[in-house]
Chains A and B, each alone.
Chain A
Amino acid sequence: MRKAFITTLCELAAADDRIVLMTGDLGHLAMEPFRERFPNRFLNVGVAEQNMIGLATGLAEAGFLPYAYSIATFAALRPLEFIRNGPVLHQLPVRIVGMGMGFEYGHSGPTHYGVEDVAVLRTLPGLTIVIPADSDQAANAISDTSKISGPVYYSLGKDDKITVPGLNGRFHLGKIQVTRTGGDIALVTMGSLSQEVAAAAEELSSRGLEAAVAVVSNFYPDPEDDLADFLSKVRHAVSVEAQTMSGGLGAFAAGIIASRGLQCKLRALGVRTPPDGTSGVQEERWRKHGIDRHGIVRTVHELISK
């Protein structure tokens, strides 16, 4: 989605000279097209994420639309209080772009994993969170949300090649995207892990179980009604996210089921164990935490057979 992000931002910036791209000294082999085309609106602030968000706050108050880029954990967690007291408290149109949600930074290890960004930022009402599942959806989502008057956080994947079957780039703020229908089980997911969930649904189908799949693409406005409607049609659901379990997608789905009194049993998959010092490529990490296609299929069988 890195290419989709830069390409879309270049298109937006060509039509809107308020757009400024800032980076905390990251984005090698990604930022260049913007930097070359709009050198006066590209700003490498150095390795200083807190200052980057403070700067963005000052720029936005003066009428700019700053996009502040870094690896997800450095973009979201390091300057968390600056995000809260700056763009969120002032309701300014700062865009924060976090790259590599989940385990995409593989062997860079736990310091580089983005497994809390969405859950943590969901605690800030007033901050729209956008979590595209593939490049086409990222392009549409970035474009559609560019005019929002308040702040936006984008949790993006690095991989440019992912395509989530059935999504076709669709994005609607405050809505889920149903990418597959089926009556046996509901799968709910978000971000680049959606491709793995789609693969799990294929695998289930080959074993005679039809899964409905919903991709949650944003929070605030939360897609509450939409997801409630989706979950009201099934007896079993599994949520799958490359995030820790407090406050993320599983918690969101569980809250909807409880508050709406839905007759749907939910199993929430995600990162449940604390970091143990190990690292590995993304797919291996998914396997370790049981959120790869085989883990999902296994969980579905356990849930349904109970």
Chain B
Amino acid sequence: MRRIILDHSKRANVGHIGPCLCVVEILSALYSSVLRANSPDDPDRDRFILSKGHAGLALYAALSLKGWLPQETLDTFCGENTLLGVHPEAALRGVDFTTGSLGQGLCIAAGAALAAKMQHSTRRVFCLISDAECNEGSVWEAAMFAAHHQLSNLHAIVDCNGQQALGLTRDVLDISNLAERWRAFGWRTSEVDGHSVSALVQSLSTPSSSDAPHVVIAHTIFGKGVSFMQEGIPVSQTNLPTHPVNWHYLPMSGHEYNLALAELERSD
């Protein structure tokens, strides 16, 4: 999945690589084990909402590996008149909901979960949000609603990479006691290593007797798998200072791409 992310970011010369790399295991857990879906068109499939839509390429990679996204479609990523922009569009088969504006996904997810309950369906709804996305008030509107309506079929996953667009989350708006906040809103919480597929699968698949909605606080490393991205080093742009958020936006130079690929191959 990381290889697909690097290849297509490079080919399209776009950024948002760091936020894609850090959710690889989360999407891998979902699409390989957790989501119950025979096809992306089955109305009674589990739903997934990538509320942090800027990791769209990671979702395309997961859909591609799942066999739901043909290679020739994946190759249109960030091309002309494509359905595969940086942020995912529901017009693309396999994408359940359009996202990109932070703070909207969990509200939609709560509606989808409520719909399943009202239809007496056992389908579940999974929604991946970012830690910084919790700055949005609407996240907490949805959190309040889901707990009140006992939407136990709703699972939120918070990608806790500790970064946001202009700095570290602890410097921008400190939400370090995040699990405690969710518990205060009536949610069942789990904390896992967001790079352990088995821990994620276990956390998301273990049935609970609780009526509460479930949130997994997944601790992740921004740019995971590529050390210069994890460390915020702009290898080719020597005029930029080293900063953790550099790889939120930067596209890779050819040299950086080769470095990143070599590291991936070493770790395989």
List chain A positions with a Cβ less than 8 A from chain B: 20, 40, 43, 45-46, 48, 50-51, 53-64, 81-82, 85-86, 89-90
B142 in the interface, Cβ–Cβ < 8 Å? Answer: yes
* A20, B119: Cα distance in complex, Å: 12
Residues of A within 8 A of B116 (CB): 62
Q: When A48-B141, A54-B138, A55-B145 are in contact, do A89 and B110 touch as well, CB less than 8 Å?
A: no
Return the chain A residue nearest B110 by Cβ: A55
Residues 7-55 (chain B) with a chain A CB within 8 angstroms: 43
Q: Is the interface of B mostly helix, strand, loop or mixed?
A: helix
Q: Give B74-90 interface residues, CB cut-off 8 Å to A.
A: 89-90
A60 to B112 Cα, complex, angstroms: 8
B112 touches A62 (CB 8 A): yes
Chain B hits for A53, CB < 8 A: 107
Q: Smallest CB-CB separation from B107: which chain A residue?
A: A54
- A81 to chain B minimum Cβ distance, whole angstroms, is 6
Given A46-B145, A50-B138, A90-B98, also A55-B114 (CB < 8 A): yes
Report if B111 contacts A (CB, 8 A).
yes
Shortest CB–CB separation between residue A25 and chain B, in angstroms?
A: 12
Docked CA distance A210–B218 (Å): 72
Contact call A89/B111, Cβ cutoff below 8 A: no
| B148 neighbours in A (Cβ, 8 Å) | 46
> Contact between B145 and A48 (Cβ–Cβ < 8 Å)?
yes
Q: How far is the CA of A57 from the CA of B127 in the complex (A)?
A: 15
> Which residues from chain B contact A57 at a C-beta distance below 8 Å?
97, 107-108, 111
Asked if A85 and B111 sit within 8 Å, CB to CB, the answer is no
**Shortest beta-carbon distance, B107 to chain A, in Å?**
2
- In the complex the two chains form, what is the Cα distance from A7 to B114 in whole Å? 26
| Residue interface mask B95-128, A partner, CB < 8 A = 1 | 0111111011011111111111011000001000
B101 engages A81 (CB within 8 Å): yes
Which of B98, B114, B119, B141 makes the CB contact (< 8 A) with A58? B114
CA distance A95 to B39 in the complex (A): 29
Pair B144/A58 contact, Cβ less than 8 Å? no
Which 7 A-B residue pairs are closest in the complex by CB-CB distance? A54-B107, A58-B111, A62-B115, A55-B111, A58-B112, A51-B141, A48-B141
Contact of A86 among B104, B119, B144 (CB under 8 A): B104
Contact B145 A58 (CB under 8 A): no
Complex contact A85–B43 (CB within 8 A) = no
Q: Which residues of B contact A61 (CB under 8 A)?
A: 96-97, 108, 111-112, 115
Contact partners of A50 in chain B: CB under 8 A:
103-104, 107, 137-138, 141
Tell me how far the C-beta of A153 lies from the nearest C-beta in chain B, rounded to whole angstroms. Answer: 18
A55 contacts B104, C-beta separation under 8 Å? no
Q: Is the pair A89, B115 in contact by a Cβ cutoff of 8 Å?
A: no
CA distance A85 to B138 in the complex (A): 14
A53→B105 CA distance, assembly (Å): 11
